[in-house]
Structure 1
């Protein structure tokens, strides 16, 4: 995710985007994970930035480089025990990029996120029969938040989490999160600017009915 966020922040110099993390988590602690980066709201600006290859002195990866990075990621995480059905998708018409995979354990999922972030032994998810916890850590360049010229763009960009469970949700620790009517899904959305200032805004502990 470190490279992914770096790529997003490079394009943020000329466009806004949304990052969505979607998880369907089962009682046996397995599940499906999807990460989507969506530049469709500003696809023309994004396309122009990639075509120019540089914005404000920052190198922008071209389409071939983006595809190669995703292929490299797929190859790496496919070798992680407990990870299967890894899929990466690119849509260079709307500039939407997707990573999908299945995990058998949260330990395996943590290893996937650590591969994205180039981290080791970092815990991003924990869970048991009673709860599920997301511990957020987004490696976004801090210098962006110090640039007042980028504040408006950062406020337009957003990070979203959508987590679905087999059992009903009884409570969440994050006051900004919303529980669906059927009580199976929790939704949380924050601006990139807010998360840059405080990653913990995406933290959430979801309590499940027994």
Structure 2
């Protein structure tokens, strides 16, 4: 089971050694369905501790990944995304002083992101149980959907207390921005921006693992 949760975060192995990290998942969708996707992994609040850990070989029985290993994984993910049809302008940045990693790209349609994630899974960059059919859009119906994902609660419950601590203090934020105005949404846990062109959902990663918060949302655009 420890291996399972490590698979979830194969792109951020060093972050698993601290519970204080944030994940920002952001999309910006134009009226024609194209847009930009970015994923930011931020452990700057733990940078002092991570700087010390990075000098070790192991901690709590776990191998400490080196900078070169992390760079290799991120660069491999970028190469795979670049070969996915519909995805372009793939960029990565790695700030090892503040422990912030970013992957961004443009897409012709949001389903291209699903395909890119599926390719990462096929190449073992993402764990096999990670959801990849995250988004869907129907331009004719002016609808955009953040699809439902499976719960990880049963897997989490089987973890040791030490492994559960990894998720204490970890945060997840989803931001969806649209060129068109939002007419309605099915999940009111998302905060809607005053201009009605953006939605935000955030909470502890445990909120989502334990299904206290749901990411699923069906959005109707004007």
Q: CA deviation at 1:177?
A: 0.8
**Measured at CA, do residues 155 and 203 of structure 1 come closer, stay the same or move farther in structure 2, by a change above 3 Å?**
farther
Structure 1 segments, 4+ long, off by >6 Å, are 138-141
Q: How far apart in 2 are the matches of 1:199 and 1:30?
A: 31
**Measured at CA, do residues 139 and 201 of structure 1 come closer, stay the same or move farther in structure 2, by a change above 3 Å?**
closer
Counterpart among 159, 171, 186 of residue 146 in structure 1 = 159
RMSD: 2.8
Alignment gaps of 5+ in structure 1: none
Q: How far apart in 2 are the matches of 1:131 and 1:145?
A: 38
- Larger mean Cα displacement after TM superposition, 117-126 or 98-107: 117-126
**Measured at CA, do residues 145 and 181 of structure 1 come closer, stay the same or move farther in structure 2, by a change above 3 Å?**
farther
Q: CA deviation at 1:96?
A: 0.2
Q: CA deviation at 1:41?
A: 1.0
Q: How far apart in 1 are the matches of 2:80 and 2:221?
A: 33
Matching residue of 1:175: 188
| Structural mapping, 1:1-210, within 5 Å | 5-6=9-10, 8=12, 11-118=15-122, 122-129=132-139, 130-135=142-147, 137=149, 142-143=155-156, 146-149=159-162, 151=164, 154-198=167-211, 201-209=214-222
With normalisation by structure 2, the TM-score equals 0.81
**Measured at CA, do residues 139 and 148 of structure 1 come closer, stay the same or move farther in structure 2, by a change above 3 Å?**
same
Q: Is the 8 Å Cα contact of residues 162 and 187 (structure 1) preserved in structure 2?
A: yes
Q: CA deviation at 1:91?
A: 0.2
**Measured at CA, do residues 135 and 55 of structure 1 come closer, stay the same or move farther in structure 2, by a change above 3 Å?**
farther
- Name the SS of the counterpart of 2:9 in structure 1: helix
Aligned residues: 208
Q: Is the 8 Å Cα contact of residues 88 and 98 (structure 1) preserved in structure 2?
A: yes
- Larger mean Cα displacement after TM superposition, 154-163 or 83-92: 154-163
